[in-house]
């Protein structure tokens, strides 16, 4: 029994391995070909997400060069909000990657790239005049109820403290 375990079993396994090596290679190659598109898609998604988070961390320092406020660090725009040209991108460009016009002169940097959840906490830091700029832009563009509702709430609070 010991001779079988120590000598004949390893010898038999080695012989079988070399006889079936082409079959093992074919199975591995077929499996890789089937799974490669999914692995590539997952890898490209991970790179895009990582790039977005990195760019947001650069923007999210609190102030940009023009003095405008930026999003909270670690937050990411909603999918489809920011266009990112990617070199070497395979396939057709997705509709989500179309850039919206950049809002110029708004007190919050990258305003059009931010989600309502990212904008609402920043509104309380703005002056009434800055909030009116945001309101005019929001009403003429996306008209998000969350942002407009918070602006209304802040205006009511301010009106109550003035009188």
Residue 51's pLDDT is 87
Cβ–Cβ < 8 Å for 128, 158: yes
Cβ–Cβ < 8 Å for 134, 108: yes
Cα 123–125–129 angle (5° rounding)?
A: 75
Residue 43's pLDDT is 87
Beta bridge mates, 108? 69
pTM of structure: 0.39
Residue 87's pLDDT is 47
Cβ–Cβ < 8 Å for 151, 135: yes
Residue 64's pLDDT is 46
Give pLDDT tens digits along the chain (163 positions). 888 889 989 999 999 989 998 998 898 888 888 888 888 888 888 898 888 888 887 776 544 444 455 555 445 445 554 444 444 444 444 444 444 455 568 999 889 899 999 999 999 999 999 999 999 999 999 999 999 999 999 999 988 876 5
Residue 163's pLDDT is 58
Residue 55's pLDDT is 81
Cβ–Cβ < 8 Å for 118, 99: no
Residue 53's pLDDT is 86
Separation CA 74–CA 122 (nearest Å): 15
- Looking at the structure of the chain, the number of domains it has is 1
Place of tokens 């937050």: 75
State the residue range of the domain holding 61: 2-162
């Amino acid at each position: 029994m010991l001779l079988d375990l120590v000598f004949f079993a390893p010898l038999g396994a080695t012989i079988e391995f070399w006889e079936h090596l082409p079959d093992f290679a074919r199975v591995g190659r077929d499996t890789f070909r089937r799974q490669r598109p999914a692995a590539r898609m997952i890898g490209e998604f991970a790179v895009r997400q990582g790039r977005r988070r990195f760019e947001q961390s650069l923007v999210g320092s609190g102030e940009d060069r023009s003095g405008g406020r930026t999003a909270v660090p670690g937050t990411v725009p909603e999918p489809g909000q920011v266009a990112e040209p990617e070199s070497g991108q395979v396939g057709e460009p997705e509709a989500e990657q179309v850039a919206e016009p950049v809002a110029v002169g708004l007190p919050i940097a990258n305003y059009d790239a931010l989600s309502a959840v990212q904008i609402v906490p920043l509104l309380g830091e703005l002056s009434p005049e800055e909030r009116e700029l945001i309101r005019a832009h929001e009403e003429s563009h996306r008209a998000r109820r969350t942002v407009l509702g918070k602006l209304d709430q802040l205006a009511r609070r301010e009106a109550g403290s003035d009188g």
